[in-house]
Amino acid sequence: MQPSLDEILDNFELLDEWDDRYRYLIELGRALEPLPEEARTDANKVRGCASQVWLDTRVVREPGREPVLDFRGDSDAHIVRGLVALAFAIFSGRPATTIIDTDALAIFKRLGLSEHLTPQRSNGLRSMVERIKGEARAALAAA
């Protein structure tokens, strides 16, 4: 089971060294549920990532309620897989407008990721966030 965003934030605060934080990100990625092969499609691939990243979105619609989005995904890189898990802690299971309104970059900055990720990984992380927000906008438009 994936930890909540609050648990991740608390755990990051307990870890002083960046090597420990990277190891924690890798652990988060290892805890992700495996993505089935049939979900590793070109349509699910996130563009703008140096590593391969897949994002599979499920939209839950209930009459009279805003759509809620659930995500599953994977990456071929250990740290990136941890970043995928972090993104899911931020966004998965949330209503579409909450996803759109959430400032993930502020959360990444709070965790210190903006200073400690390579420019390629930072760009990939932004691409993943934009993809998630795009999925939320599409779910609202189809509602």
Q: Which sequence positions are flagged as catalytic? A: 49
Strand segments, DSSP code E, in 27-105 are: 53-60, 68-75, 94-95
- Whole-number Cα distances in Å, 120 to 49, 52, 80, 127: 7, 12, 11, 10
By three-state DSSP, how is residue 100 classified? helix
Hey, is 125 helix, strand or coil?
A: helix
Residue appearing with tokens 């390579």: 118
3-state secondary structure of 134: helix
Who's near 26: CB < 8 A, 6+ residues apart?
78, 79, 81, 82
